[in-house]
Structure 1
Amino acid sequence: MPKTADLIIRNARVLTMDEAAPRAEAVALAGNRVLAVGSNDEIRALAGPETQVIDAGGKTVLPGFNEAHMHIFPGSVSLRQLNLHGVHGFEALKEAMQAYAAANPDEPLLMGFSADYSIISLDESVTRHHLDAILPDRPFMMFAPDHHTAWANTAALEKAGLLHGKDVGVGNEVVMGADGMASGELREGNAFGPVSALASTGGREELGMVTGMDPENVTPEQYALDRAILKSGLEYCASWGVTSIQNFDGNHYQLRLMRDLEQSGELPCRIRIPFHMKNFMDLAELDKAAEWKKEFATDMVRGDFVKVFMDGVLDSQTAFMLEGYGDRPGYTYEPLFTAEAFNAIATKADALGLQIAVHAIGSAAIRQTLDGYEAAIKANGKQDLRHRIEHIEIIDPTDLPRFRELGVVASMQPVHVPGGTCFPLEPTDARIGEDRWEYAYAWRTMKEAGAPVVFASDWPVSPVSPFQCIQDAMTRKLWKEGLTDQRFTLEESLEAYTAIGAWVEFMEDRKGKLKPGFLADVVVLTHDIEQVAPEKIMDTVRAAVTICDGRITHQAA
């Protein structure tokens, strides 16, 4: 390694995430690697005439944030859509929709996101009739924050061929109204996919989620549009200090787009994209995932794991529950895969050496996933594949020790907790049931049970800001006295966003820490985060400088 640094960050409060040397004053980078970490005087000696120097001014310096669960294509597209977060009541919705429509006169499908389930009111569900009263003549659809439910107006439903209903497969539903026509509510990807296809993007951003398949007959103009949208979204992530993304939908098309950006020197974040195994696919499709792992295997772009949806979400009552819902006892819904089908998928993927990551919200979905991982171990022997469960919003306590026993990662999003900074407490608390609150969104309980806990935002379900997620992890309020305090410390939260994220993706030998020889992924914050009150982190702290692979990818004005 060269003796002279290309870039030095000095006068910093460096949190290295390296247990052997947890703190420092300065960091030196050479090429795409960390050259040295140490005192200001030690690092100053590595400067040459061409060395760029950043004075951190006593602010925090960390390894770049590892966003361990997000959806980059839908997230990137959402930057062009109507953000309905915090909008409540018909009049507020009307004002927002009409302003957006006026600003986008040529868009074939107007789309909104982060529309609360109770956007009209807690007592009245939104229907196509509400949307028709606002926009009767232009197709419109808006997503719930979780992106598992959408609502469309009549113009959109009619154009998509859904107005009179349609069989959209297990776990998906075009909800019908009392008049025998679609109500406007569309549950899961197969239901809202035909509407998404009306957009200027042709719904290509949803294919990695809905079908896992590549788009057909992409023109050069469409490819250029998708590339530009993704580049903009990746740059947005970099502006929040993100240097690594573990994406949770995808297809070969997205991997090719990322490789294109990498080869042209325009990729501002490292990214891994899964093979999305759907319930209509033959088991032999997993061989493609093994091929992707070989085809995309650089430190910047990888296609090296398998994603599975086991169930839906709590608010639409599409999560698979052991004993029903608190406000609907006995209604358990159904999994997207039978136990036998998932056991076969887990066993084959495990045999191919592929990490598996399963979206499992409800207690029954989590148990069925753990059962599948156990079946894989019985068939193949225990391997270090770090299989994951995503979200884990309500777990039966008897399943807690199985994470440690089976070596399963708990991938959780503190920003999702009802009553936090992002989502209202109601009606989710009622869906869960008060008797099960103790085991809902229980990241401290998971950690103490021995599960490796990694944090992420699930963007665009919630904002990509790591600082909002960290604040929610540190400030979570008890829903009632006597419940376990699930809060993390700042150190634990930062570790869950850096070093543990790198470990989960098998890169703990070269990233997630500021350590000589590690990849040069660094974020300089605007503040000394240790001196910021926990309840003020999300509104105070930002990324001042983001460095990925030794290249500055964001610098605040």
Structure 2
Amino acid sequence: MAPQADLLLTNAHLRTMTGQEPEATALAVTDGRITAIGDTATLVQDCAGPRTERLDLAGATVTPGLVDSHSHPVWGLRMATGADLTGVQDLDALRDALRRAERIDGWVVGWGLDHNAFGGRPLHRDLVEDVLDGAPTFLRLYDGHSALVSGAALTAAGITGPRSFAQRSEIVRGPDGRLTGHLIEHAAMDLVDAVVPTPSYEERRTGLVDLLTAMAATGLTGAHVMDGSGLDLLAAVEEETELPLRLTLAPWCMPGVDAAGLDELVALQRERGRNWRVGGVKFFMDGTVEGGTAWLEHPDCHGQGTEAFWPDPAAYSAAVRHLHAAGVRTATHAIGDAAVRHVLDTVEALGASGRGAHRIEHIESVPDDTLPRFAALGVTASMQPPHTAYTKGDHSDEWSKRLGDERAARAWRTRDLRAAGATLALGSDWPIAPYDVRRVLAMARVPEGAAGPGQGLTGLEALEGVTAHAAAAAGEADTTGRIAVGLRADLTVLGLDPVTAPADELAEAPVLLTTVGGRITHRTR
């Protein structure tokens, strides 16, 4: 007989993701694990007791807990500071938004700005400086890899000219020799970001808990955090309360790292709390198409994209080998075809031991011959369906124009990668795109923009991308990602079946319940 349950879900429709759906309508949870699956009457009789919380789901669908396979909840709070510019469509709207923007300690700060808003013009502070009243200004572009800053911000950061960096970064100077205020990639942006006003600890703590609570309300029970920001904040929050999501973090490894630095990343893998842990390392092999820093096999329309983020790509491969030998999983940001190919080559050189331990993030445009290599090498494809919304089907957007029609026609090949047998983990990349996992599922089935409907997944494949395949991507297939006895009770309950419901209905599906280890983190009944 099963032990007395802490939580008993009855009259439910189960999507177990085990490949063989049982004739069952109930499940029991004890001490954070699924302890029984069966029909409602039997489990009520065998598992219910005085301390059991019983929830009648009235036919709602229970899935394994939905996981965002690429997110930045702590770093993202810093990125998503100030004016929300995600709705800005053109330069006039941007100028109006900046006029009205609330100052933060005298600064104008904004985020989420679409490259398309500039209408093909080169990014330049002259386009907006006259509406800023001299205020230092820091505007993040939506891709998170570039920013536009004012002259006052350059002065505040002590920037008077171009600089050399250990990674692919640039302080852009115009044809007239003046600094344009366009900062490309992390090292350049960090120079100004270091002097931008920062929120207090209390603001960060409250913001993080509120954000994770809102994420849980969309059905999320976990996230793969593609940075190592805020380990101290996570630990401090857990001294006061419980995290609403289970987080797996991958701190960054940047060009110029030495053996001691790599060993520090290995040691970081021991850091963990109740509902967070360090579980990997994040690399960048390139930047973004719109910023001209995606590593391409052929230049983009501006003659850019021919350089890797690591000036010496062989040094990247050596760093991966070092971490792999220590048993550390890696995730590599690779958007362009040359970047993706180099990561695949690096994993192939690891031999059989590399299977299942490494993943590639984003994969925005790749040729046919790379597709079967993901399955052959056991490399997870981690992709973000909402990113397709920044492009257009007619290729008139900045991403498509930079790549040209041939490469834009092979955009976000989720369907092709699944057909080739790849493990395909899905995420949002918040704050680059909205975190609502229902939208991720819907857009995986009906991709927008340059990707087009031909790259759409089935309802089951999309659900696998945020459950079973997400678990495999994190090396947790034996503990989560399915509904089975003995696995963690990370569960999502939706008011409709995410496999069979139309995509537009799924995007607004009622989220009735989410649990992390059997602990209820969101409920509407």
For normalisation by structure 2, the TM-score amounts to 0.91
CA-CA distance at 1:48 after TM superposition: 2.2
Q: Does 1:519 align with 2:463?
A: no
1:179-194 matches, within 5 Å, as 179-194=176-191
1:177 aligned onto 2:174: yes
Contact 1:78/1:460 (8 A) holds in 2: yes
Would the aligned equivalents of 1:546 and 1:552 in 2 still touch at CA under 8 Å? yes
C-alpha RMSD of matched pairs (Å): 2.8
Quote the residue 2:221 is aligned against.
243
C-alpha distance in 2 between matches for 1:261 and 1:23: 41
In the other structure, the counterpart of 1:551 is 519
Answer yes or no: is 1:338 the counterpart of 2:312.
yes
1:270 is the counterpart of 2:246: yes
Where does structure 1 lack aligned partners over 5 or more consecutive residues?
203-221
User: In the comparison of the two structures, how many residue pairs are matched?
Assistant: 524
Q: Cα distance, 1:419 vs. partner?
A: 6.0
Counterparts of 1:73-472 in structure 2 under 5 Å?
Answer: 73-78=74-79, 80-101=81-102, 105-120=103-118, 122-162=119-159, 164-201=161-198, 222-251=200-229, 254-296=230-272, 300-325=275-300, 327-328=301-302, 332-377=306-351, 382-418=353-389, 426-472=397-443
Structure 2: give runs of 5+ residues left out of the alignment: none
- Provide the C-alpha distance between the structure 1 equivalents of 2:83 and 2:43, rounded to a whole number of angstroms: 47
Amino acid in the other structure paired with 1:364: A
Amino acid in the other structure paired with 2:334: A
SS of equivalent residue, structure 2 residue 117: coil
Q: CA deviation at 1:11?
A: 2.9
Q: Which residue matches 1:213? A: none
Cα gap change, 1:22 to 1:31, in 2 (>3 Å): same
User: How many Å apart are 1:442 and its aligned residue?
Assistant: 0.6
Query: C-alpha displacement at 1:353, in angstroms?
Result: 0.9
| CA distances 1:238-290 after superposition (whole Å, capped 9, x unpaired) | 22222111111115xx2233233335442121112123111021133111122
Q: 1:457 Cα deviation (Å)?
A: 0.7
Q: 2:524 and 2:79 mapped to 1: Cα distance?
A: 22
Moved more, 410-419 or 187-196: 410-419
State TM-score, norm by structure 1.
0.86
Aligned residue for 1:54? 55
Does the C-alpha gap of structure 1 residues 143 and 3 become closer, same or farther in structure 2, counting only changes over 3 Å?
Answer: same
Once the two structures are TM-superposed, the CA of residue 423 in structure 1 deviates from its matched residue by 13
CA deviations on 1:193-236 (whole Å, 9 max, x unpaired) are: 1222223327xxxxxxxxxxxxxxxxxxx544443333333223
**Cα displacement string for residues 333-389 of structure 1 (whole angstroms, at most 9, x for unaligned residues):** 334242321221121111111111110011111111112222333xxx524452111
On the 8 A contact 2:512/2:523 being kept in 1, the answer is yes
How far did 1:330 drift? Answer: 7.6
Distance 1:302 1:425, change over 3 A: farther
Q: Distance in 2 between matches of 1:97 and 1:23?
A: 58
Contact conserved, 1:150 with 1:187, CA < 8 A, in 2? yes
Distance 2:394 2:291 in 1: 15
Query: 1:29·1:520 contact (CA, 8 Å) conserved in 2?
Result: yes
